[in-house]
Copies of this chain bind each other. A is one copy, B any other.
Amino acid sequence: MIAKKANYHQQIIKHLYFAGSLSCAELSILIKKSVPLTAKVLNELMESDFVLETGLAESTGGRRAQKYELNAGQVYIIAVAMDQLITRVAILDMHHNFVGDVKKIELKLANNPNALTEIISNIQGFIKASGISKEKFAGIGISMPGFIDVKKGINYSFLKTLHGESINACIENALKIPVLIDNDSSIIALTELKMGRARGKKNAMVINVGWGVGLGMILNAELYRGQNGFAGEFSHIPMFNNNKLCSCGKTGCLETETSLQVLIEKAKEGLKGGRLSGLAKDFPTGHYETDYEMIIDAALKGDQFAVELFSDAGYNIGRGIAILIHLLNPEIVILSGLGAFAGKMWEAPIQQALNKHCIPRLAENTVIEVSKLGYNAALYGAAALVMENKTIDYHPHSEKHKQKKILLIK
């Protein structure tokens, strides 16, 4: 009985988590159940402190609706966002607020057999320091780069486990909290779907322009992962006859001409070759992040060489987008990730590529936009991953709750 109904509780929690605040009538439509049933479930959720009443909605010409929200501190999520060099750990409440500070750990993923152990001990320490009891955590969501089989919980690029068990099981055993992992590009797409520009859209392509070029696909209003969770390998679609060796072992991949890494390499080459540019003075610094920022700055100031770098990369990304549009006819294409900081720089060259390589009727029906979510997108998305997949332990009539009530009465 609870088991059966718990489904609605779950759904309502999920909707409130992503929407923030909803009325009973709105929830009733979202979960496709009658208002009285929705009201009943809401009342139960309020009794067990998951949900709170938070005043009346704006008037729409009749009786004003009561609004409901999640109780921010009833459940927490641990969000972990990794890139090749830095791992961030944070605790988020049910209102997407960070609880305490975001912890930054310098953790090299490549060829680091201790990476997994380090993560575990770091998370463990982080939980202890937070002072929040373990039962309060719905789960740990981890965003990581690499070739990930989500079902099996294996990352074929990094974080090898000792005996080939799943990363999930490995961390769960140590921490006793459910773990969910996913590819960083998928996570970013999920964030765009749930709280970004893809909100409410049924089809969207989210391109994660970073040191590589990733892709997260929203198809039928869901994150699409493919048969083995490998979908979205945009980086490695064969697109050039350039004889440039890619990290994947092939040549001519999209990534060989368009990633931010390539952008920096091309900047170096160009300067060596004598190109005039405001960059010339201090470039390169030896740090990818700083180099990238310098190129953006130069481009925004109108430096021709820097602008050209973005134009070339953008045009090639545009060619890739043309392929996506032909195949998947999406409503929107969102440029996200580190590359999004270059904002407007991408727009013209991409549009140019679409004009050249896209059937007009298709291009017309697709909007191209740069993401407005910042650096925290991956953390929000890791939390969203947990809320998307985890079943929160809802026990309105469990001993624990009865106990609690008795205590309150006393």
Nearest to A325 among chain B residues (CB) is B233
Pairwise interchain contact B327-A324, C-beta atoms closer than 8 A:
yes
- If A228-B365, A230-B362 touch, whether A326 touches B220 (CB-CB below 8 Å) is no
Q: How far is the CA of A201 from the CA of B229 in the complex (A)?
A: 15
Pairwise interchain contact A226-B203, C-beta atoms closer than 8 A:
yes
A220 contact set on B, CB distance < 8 A: 219-220, 222, 224
Partner of A230, one of B147, B237, B329: B329
The prevalent SS among residues of A at the interface is: loop
Q: Does A366 contact B (CB under 8 A)?
A: yes
Partner of A238, one of B147, B319, B361: B319
Pairwise interchain contact A330-B227, C-beta atoms closer than 8 A:
yes
**Copies of the chain in the assembly:** 2
Pairwise interchain contact A326-B250, C-beta atoms closer than 8 A:
no
- If A357-B238, A365-B227 touch, whether A232 touches B327 (CB-CB below 8 Å) is yes
A76 CB, nearest partner CB in chain B, Å: 31
Q: How far is the CA of A227 from the CA of B366 in the complex (A)?
A: 9
A65 CB, nearest partner CB in chain B, Å: 27
Pairwise interchain contact B237-A329, C-beta atoms closer than 8 A:
no
A217 contact set on B, CB distance < 8 A: 327
Q: How far is the CA of A19 from the CA of B204 in the complex (A)?
A: 34
Q: Does A9 contact B (CB under 8 A)?
A: no
Give chain A's interface residue range (CB within 8 Å of chain B). Answer: 35 or more
A4 CB, nearest partner CB in chain B, Å: 12
CB 8 Å contact bits of A113-149 with B (1 = contact, 0 = none):
0000000000000000000000000000000000100
Q: Does A323 contact B (CB under 8 A)?
A: yes
Contacting B at CB under 8 A, from A197-239, are 202-203, 215, 217, 219-220, 222, 224-234, 236-238
Pairwise interchain contact B322-A233, C-beta atoms closer than 8 A:
no
A219 contact set on B, CB distance < 8 A: 219-220, 224
Pairwise interchain contact B250-A356, C-beta atoms closer than 8 A:
yes
Q: How far is the CA of A366 from the CA of B231 in the complex (A)?
A: 12
A70 CB, nearest partner CB in chain B, Å: 29
Q: Does A248 contact B (CB under 8 A)?
A: yes
Q: How far is the CA of A327 from the CA of B230 in the complex (A)?
A: 8
Pairwise interchain contact A328-B222, C-beta atoms closer than 8 A:
no
Nearest to A215 among chain B residues (CB) is B327
Nearest to A233 among chain B residues (CB) is B326
Pairwise interchain contact A226-B330, C-beta atoms closer than 8 A:
yes
A155 CB, nearest partner CB in chain B, Å: 12
Q: Does A26 contact B (CB under 8 A)?
A: no
Nearest to A225 among chain B residues (CB) is B329
A328 contact set on B, CB distance < 8 A: 224, 226, 231
- Beyond A226-B329, A249-B359, A250-B356, 10 additional contacts (C-beta under 8 Å) are A217-B327, A219-B220, A220-B222, A225-B329, A227-B330, A230-B362, A233-B327, A237-B327, A238-B322, A250-B357
What are 10 A-B pairs with beta-carbon distances under 8 A?
A219-B224, A220-B220, A226-B328, A227-B330, A230-B361, A230-B362, A232-B327, A234-B326, A236-B326, A237-B327
